[in-house]
Amino acid sequence: MAAEMLQFHEMGLDDRLLKAVADLGWSQPTLIQEKAIPLALEGKDILARARTGSGKTAAYAIPVIQRILASKQCVREQDVRALVLVPTKELGQQVQIMMRQLTSYCSRDVRVADISGKADVSTQRPILMEKPDVVVGTPSRVLAHLNAQNLVLHSCLEMMVVDEADLLFSFGFEADLKNLLCHLPKIYQSFLMSATFSEEVQALKELLLHNPVILKLQGSQLPDSSQLQQYTIKCEEEDKFLLIYTLLKLQLVRGKTLMFVGAMDRSYRLKLFLEQFGIPACVLNSELPIQSRCHIITQFNQGFYDIIIATDEQSLASSQTTSGKKKKKSKEKGGKAKDKEYGVSRGVDFQSVSNVINFDFPTNVESYIHRVGRTARADNPGTALSFISHTEMDLLSQVEEALSGDSADPVLKPYEFKMDEIEGFRYRCRDAMRAVTKQAVREARLKEIKQELLNSEKLKTYFEDNPRDLQLLRHDKDLHPAVIKPHLKNIPDYLIPETLKGVVNPLSSKRRRRMKFKPGGVVQSSFKKNVRGKNPLKSFRYTGRKDKTGKADPS
């Protein structure tokens, strides 16, 4: 008989912490939380692997807060007691939000500061001078503050957490992390949290942990087929656009959807392509400020829109073995300034995602796991669909081999879809693709940056002092990224495949009630009548031309 699960109230947690947990609606701990929290409270170092969405953040946040509250019982000076290292700014904000939710009843006793998000180190100095109990940041940002002596850890640090540990080295933080360790005390408790056990995690284990407890809580790195359905469909470049248009426009894909592409330009191209058909989508751009990116994520989570197009450029870049010459060439060309600490597929909490679509297939197994891990979180179901071109077949084989393990059944199943049934949409697809030129993509990106400048709080004072610059920016010529063709928004009934006519209803019942169908097939709707309800062409009567005397001219 299996042992009963340990509940939160049985872990010896502070009442204020238990109240916050209850407010979050957590009736019982997840597996990682049940196993990790008691061990952490005993003071043990922990290396934990648990899949995305399993509650890893709370698994370390709860014991960190509990230990700080316990230490506050003694009379001690205010100091930084815990450091949480994250690979991306987005994850830094997410961790801070979680920490603040858990400390809602003890916010005076446990103060949390996120230093990963803002660009200026000097502006964060006052926050750190107050010595918050928990500091959240990327390795590079924490090291910058340590070197500037805004942050001192060698005498006070008690706990250190590395979240998404397998990503730190691939984001280029190896040197920063090693330099950072020189500023830490000899003894402190460490937590390493990861969805995979890679070589990078093993290297971190050697650097940071002392006789750790290793928790491998799931055999599979993704939920099983009862919760997560994974499909693939083989299609080349033009067919990818045709297929995504058909799936979305015919509502074969429903619910919140996260689409991944391989490069930023492609994300804008896909967005502009979908806009041709009246399908709204939002791009999560690594060139935008962290506040804007987090605002986009918040709007998506609150249901303002259902489709986000994103890249996971850092993990893609790290997996590609480029020669020194190529790297040098790219530097000489002067690439666009992307945020080094940007990450989408890893750590960011997209809520209630029903579908993940790999428009471009990821370049390694880890990236696939973290992309697809955005859906089917906790106990919610999810679907993953990957478009596979002939050049990506080897990558597909690697993913299948990694996920299937000893099982004979493939985890990624072919998506049964007859491409010949949607051939009627191809001309529309080509029409839309012609409108989305390189110039249109570039102008769309400029328009978004211009909008950011207008909305920037930092530039608000500047524009108040320089109103002419604001007027020039506002009255700059309007950008039309792509010519929108209204006829593409609607789908004629004759184009819908016979097999899908039972699924797709191109006209809502409300519109059907408004329209009257005549035997000749001409649609007459109410908006054609004038205000008085008369047709002016039918009511017009010709009475003949009159001469100067007012009599009718017989001619």
What does the pLDDT look like over 367-381, one tens digit per residue? 898 888 888 877 788
Same domain, 17 and 74: yes
Q: What is the CATH number of the domain that holds 160?
A: 3.40.50.300
State residue 320 phi and psi, 5-degree precision: -90, 125
Same domain, 49 and 181: yes
Q: Residue 134 forms beta bridges with which residues?
A: 82, 112
546 within domain boundaries: no
The set of residues, in sequence order, having a beta carbon less than 8 Å from that of 206 and lying 6+ positions away, is: none
Domain coverage including residue 45: 8-216
Same domain, 42 and 142: yes
User: Which whole number is the average pLDDT over 103-132?
Assistant: 89
Amino acid symbol at 118: K
136 within domain boundaries: yes
Distances in Å between the Cα of 527 and the Cα atoms of 209, 493, 514, 524, 533 are 73, 22, 10, 9, 10
Instruction: Compute CA 354 distance to the chain's CA centroid, rounded to the nearest angstrom.
Output: 13
User: Which whole number is the average pLDDT over 168-173?
Assistant: 76
Q: Please determine, for residue 458, whether its predicted confidence score (pLDDT) is greater than 80.
A: no
Write out the H or E segment, with its range, that includes residue 382. Answer: strand 382-388
> 325 versus 3: which is more confidently predicted?
3
Cα–Cα distance between 256 and 269 in angstroms, integer?
20
User: Which whole number is the average pLDDT over 481-509?
Assistant: 63
Same domain, 169 and 262: no
* pLDDT score of 474: 58
Tell me what the pLDDT averaged over the chain comes to.
79
Percent of the chain with pLDDT over 90: 36
Give the range with max mean pLDDT: 45-59, 247-261, 456-470, 499-513. Answer: 247-261
User: Of the residues 494, 517, 538, which one is the last residue of a structural domain?
Assistant: 494
- Which range has the worst mean pLDDT, 74-83, 309-318, 395-404? 309-318
User: Of the residues 451, 474, 494, which one is the last residue of a structural domain?
Assistant: 494
* pLDDT score of 551: 59
Q: Please determine, for residue 529, whether its predicted confidence score (pLDDT) is greater than 60.
A: no
108 within domain boundaries: yes
554 within domain boundaries: no
- Which range has the worst mean pLDDT, 76-90, 217-231, 427-441? 217-231
Same domain, 271 and 407: yes
Q: And the tokens for 393?
A: 């077949």
- Which range has the worst mean pLDDT, 130-144, 361-375, 409-423, 518-532? 518-532
> 7 versus 470: which is more confidently predicted?
7
Quick check: helix, strand or coil at residue 48?
A: strand
> 394 versus 336: which is more confidently predicted?
394
Percent of the chain with pLDDT over 70: 77
CB burial readout 235-267, b (16+ within 10 A) else e: beeebbbbbbbbbbbbeebeebbbbbbbebbeb
Counted domains in the chain: 2
- Which range has the worst mean pLDDT, 13-17, 255-259, 469-473, 479-483? 479-483
Q: Please determine, for residue 195, whether its predicted confidence score (pLDDT) is greater than 50.
A: yes
Q: pLDDT per residue over 100-114, tens digit each? A: 999 999 999 999 999
Q: pLDDT per residue over 297-344, tens digit each? A: 888 888 888 999 988 754 434 443 333 434 344 444 444 455 656 655
488 within domain boundaries: yes
Same domain, 288 and 361: yes
Same domain, 249 and 290: yes
Distances in Å between the Cα of 487 and the Cα atoms of 138, 256, 481, 491, 521 are 48, 26, 18, 8, 19
522 within domain boundaries: no
502 within domain boundaries: no
Q: How confident is the model at residue 394 (pLDDT cuts 50, 70, 90)?
A: very high
Q: Please determine, for residue 157, whether its predicted confidence score (pLDDT) is greater than 80.
A: yes
* pLDDT score of 544: 61
State residue 460 phi and psi, 5-degree precision: -60, -45
- Residues 178, 184, 190, 191: is their CA dihedral positive or negative? negative
Longest C-alpha distance within the chain, in Å? 115
Cα–Cα distance between 181 and 94 in angstroms, integer?
24
Quick check: helix, strand or coil at residue 17?
A: helix
> 54 versus 401: which is more confidently predicted?
401
Cα–Cα distance between 429 and 488 in angstroms, integer?
9
* pLDDT score of 151: 94
Q: Please determine, for residue 506, whether its predicted confidence score (pLDDT) is greater than 60.
A: no
Write out the H or E segment, with its range, that includes residue 234. Answer: strand 228-234
Length of the chain: 555
User: Which whole number is the average pLDDT over 71-91?
Assistant: 87
* pLDDT score of 118: 63
User: Which whole number is the average pLDDT over 139-147?
Assistant: 93
* pLDDT score of 321: 36
Same domain, 272 and 190: no
User: Of the residues 160, 187, 216, which one is the last residue of a structural domain?
Assistant: 216
Cα–Cα distance between 531 and 465 in angstroms, integer?
51
49 within domain boundaries: yes
Same domain, 99 and 175: yes
* pLDDT score of 110: 94
Q: Please determine, for residue 44, whether its predicted confidence score (pLDDT) is greater than 90.
A: yes
User: Which whole number is the average pLDDT over 126-136?
Assistant: 94
Q: Whose structure tokens read 């649609």?
A: 523
Same domain, 257 and 363: yes
Same domain, 379 and 232: yes
Same domain, 128 and 47: yes
